[in-house]
Amino acid sequence: MNKILKSLLLMPLLALSLNAAAAQYTEDEHYTKVNDSVTKKKEVREYFSVYCGHCFKFEPIMHGLKKSLPKDASFERNHVDFLGGASKTIQAMITKSIVVAEQLGDTDKLVGAVFNYIHVQRAVITSEKDLRNIFVLNGADGDKFDKLMKSFSVNSKAKSLKKYQENMTAKRVLTGVPTIIVNGKYKIDATKLDKNNFEQDYQNLVKYLLELDS
């Protein structure tokens, strides 16, 4: 009985918080609609590239966002292959390696190592061997890396990520990186967020958009 009473008491507070968020975040100012429908499951998809300096600086914010998400929402990293600095073949190879990092269960550390290799060490990735060395130096098993890079699951996921990229590019939604899309429907525009409390404001906006069609 106490649980029921507590739930009833919390409902008005929840309604107030949603109304407050609705007043705080507005379409075409903080976000734009890029699709008519939402994804089946709640998700935050980050389109990014390890060759993007802004993406590199954005990494800590994305790490914080990932940790702040509700349990029923996933964080999807969608590496793109259209930036300068490397051939599409190398960029596609990096996409595969990021899928491998996810399957190894150490995404943030391994992707961070690739970012550092390019932006801090100013080194150049020219082959799969370079990526393997980066992973191994950061604690990954080399044999597992080799097997996963050739596996059906990794290649299938990489092709799926490419399709997401092509779909959003064709709609002129994906014109640069980083681009964050919530539930496949809402593209975030962070330029109007609170600069003095940017990370928290960003997380609040994402949480608002995750619930917008619920």
Number of domains in the chain: 1
User: Residue 54 — pLDDT band, cuts 50, 70, 90?
Assistant: very high
| The two structure tokens encoding residue 133 | 């060395």
Q: What is the pLDDT of residue 85?
A: 85
Q: What is the pLDDT of residue 23?
A: 56
Mean pLDDT in the chain? 92
pTM for this entry: 0.88
CATH number of 201's domain: 3.40.30.10
- The residue range of the domain holding 82 is 2-210
